């Protein structure tokens, strides 16, 4: 009875994690989120088959589904998601996707069609007790690839470790992902009777924790490894610039016949604008209003703007614009210090109240999420738009 309860709880948690990851992947799509979603879905299906097995007794179908879910898809896609999360090299990611394809299609076919032997009981079965040599070899190779993927992701992330909090969080995410993959692999290979469902529950919980922690790590849109030497001047032949005014700038030279460019030279009178931190997040929301509802909608947005200015220091800019050529449109533009600041903004009572009351005045809403790559603004702009 204990085994049935643990198996049911582990399957229920796996389905809950799948639903949460589906929502997260839709909201903030990324390869790592998709990989972890597939892993959670595979484990949920496998553990659901495990529930049937511990209640009615395992058979060929429930055994195959359990092994495919917790021995193949679960650990393999957890590890691949870790590579997508921790590795910045485009070539490395491409290689991992090729390996993932090969170790998904071929093992799936073999595990579905190869002969299953032995007597089944109601405990979680071990892989080696019922599969022949070929499926065991294929799963063994897949598990070696899982270990290689996890080690690769951890090493790639650790190489960038410079004491930054985000880097430490990355390693924590990868540690939880590794724990989830290894626990799932252990259950599939050994079974462990009543302990099997408990370890499977731990695997799902570790995966869920890794995804929740990953949501707080700002992601970079471009690989950083290829450009580290230019970021800090520590490697290669490029020397660091202590003063931004010493950086070479390019000036346009106008002639009577054409316009061309001079070579780079140092210009003390033309400082380069200060670089914008890459963690900034931007959101543009376009509202199309119901005819006659513009005054009430404007009143709601004015209240939100006032509360943001008063209570949200990490919301750097929050402004609502009218469109002269389209009186029924409003454009809200927001810039947040980082992803955590954006999530904190969305949890504020005044924002939740606007989300509750605003739809009554709106026909359609379009949301565009931005990752700021560069900008230039005067010091007075933000103070004028967002007086504190």
CATH of the domain at 56: 1.20.1070
Do 46 and 175 belong together in one domain?
A: yes
Do 155 and 293 belong together in one domain?
A: no
Report the alpha-carbon distance of residue 135 to residue 245 in Å, rounded. 64
Q: Which of 214, 245, 264 is the last residue of a domain?
A: 214
167 within some domain: yes
CB within 8 Å of 219: residues ≥ 6 apart: 30, 339
256 within some domain: no
- What is the rounded average pLDDT of the residues 219-242? 40
Domain count, the chain: 2
Report the alpha-carbon distance of residue 65 to residue 45 in Å, rounded. 7
What percent of the chain shows pLDDT beyond 70? 77
Higher pLDDT, 209 or 2: 209
Instruction: Find out whether 119 and 136 touch, Cβ atoms under 8 Å.
Output: no
Copy the structure tokens of residue 6: 């643990």
Instruction: Find out whether 193 and 83 touch, Cβ atoms under 8 Å.
Output: no
What is the tens place of the pLDDT at every residue in 58-91?
Answer: 999 999 999 999 999 999 999 999 999 888 888 8
243 within some domain: no
Do 175 and 323 belong together in one domain?
A: no
Do 285 and 208 belong together in one domain?
A: no
What is the tens place of the pLDDT at every residue in 117-164?
Answer: 888 888 888 888 888 899 999 999 999 999 999 999 999 888 865 555
Q: Which of 158, 192, 214 is the last residue of a domain?
A: 214
Q: What does the DSSP assignment read for 213-270?
A: HHTTSPPPSS-SGGGHHHHHS-SSSPPPPSSGGGSEE--EEE-SS-EEEPPPEE-TTS
Whole-model pTM over 0.95: no
pLDDT at 366 over 50: yes
Instruction: Give alpha helix (H) positions in the chain.
Output: 2-27, 31-56, 60-67, 74-86, 90-113, 133-159, 165-190, 195-214, 228-232, 294-311, 339-346, 349-357, 379-385
158 within some domain: yes
pLDDT at 242 over 80: no
Domain range enclosing 353:
281-385
Do 47 and 192 belong together in one domain?
A: yes
- What is the rounded average pLDDT of the residues 204-208? 91
CATH of the domain at 372: 3.30.70.100
Do 103 and 21 belong together in one domain?
A: yes
Backbone angles phi, psi at 26, to 5 degrees: -75, -35
275 within some domain: no
Do 49 and 150 belong together in one domain?
A: yes
241 within some domain: no
């Amino acid at each position: 009875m204990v085994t049935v309860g643990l198996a049911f709880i582990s399957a229920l948690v796996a389905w809950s994690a799948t639903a949460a990851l589906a929502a997260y992947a839709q909201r903030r799509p990324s390869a790592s989120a998709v990989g972890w979603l597939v892993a959670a879905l595979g484990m949920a299906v496998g553990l659901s088959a495990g529930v049937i097995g511990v209640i009615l007794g395992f058979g060929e179908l429930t055994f195959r589904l359990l092994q495919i879910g917790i021995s193949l898809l679960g650990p393999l896609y957890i590890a691949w998601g870790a590579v997508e999360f921790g590795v910045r090299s485009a070539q490395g990611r491409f290689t991992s996707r090729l390996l993932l394809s090969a170790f998904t299609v071929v093992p799936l076919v073999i595990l579905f069609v190869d002969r299953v032997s032995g007597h089944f009981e109601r405990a979680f079965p071990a892989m080696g007790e019922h599969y022949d040599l070929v499926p065991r070899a294929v799963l063994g190779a897949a598990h070696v690839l899982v270990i290689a993927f996890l080690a690769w992701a951890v090493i790639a992330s650790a190489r960038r470790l410079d004491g930054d909090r985000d880097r430490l969080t990355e390693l924590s995410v990868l540690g939880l992902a590794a724990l989830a993959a290894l626990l799932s692999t252990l259950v599939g290979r050994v079974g462990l009777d009543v302990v099997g469902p408990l370890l499977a529950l731990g695997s799902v919980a570790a995966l869920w924790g890794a995804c929740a922690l990953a949501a707080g790590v700002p992601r970079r849109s471009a690989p950083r490894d290829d450009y580290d030497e230019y970021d800090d001047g520590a490697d290669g032949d490029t020397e660091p610039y202590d003063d931004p005014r010493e950086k070479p700038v390019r000036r346009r030279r106008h002639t009577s016949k054409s316009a061309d460019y001079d070579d780079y030279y140092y210009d003390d009178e033309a400082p380069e604008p200060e670089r914008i931190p890459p963690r900034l997040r931007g959101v543009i929301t376009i509202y199309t209003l119901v005819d006659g509802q513009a005054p009430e909608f404007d009143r709601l947005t004015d209240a939100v703007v006032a509360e943001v200015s008063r209570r949200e220091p990490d919301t750097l800019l929050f402004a609502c614009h009218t469109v002269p050529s389209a009186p029924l449109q409003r454009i809200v533009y927001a810039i947040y210090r980082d992803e955590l600041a954006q999530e904190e903004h969305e949890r504020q009572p005044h924002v939740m109240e606007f989300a509750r009351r605003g739809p009554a005045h709106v026909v359609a809403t379009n949301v565009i999420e931005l990752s700021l790559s560069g900008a230039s603004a005067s010091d007075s702009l933000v103070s004028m738009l967002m007086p504190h």
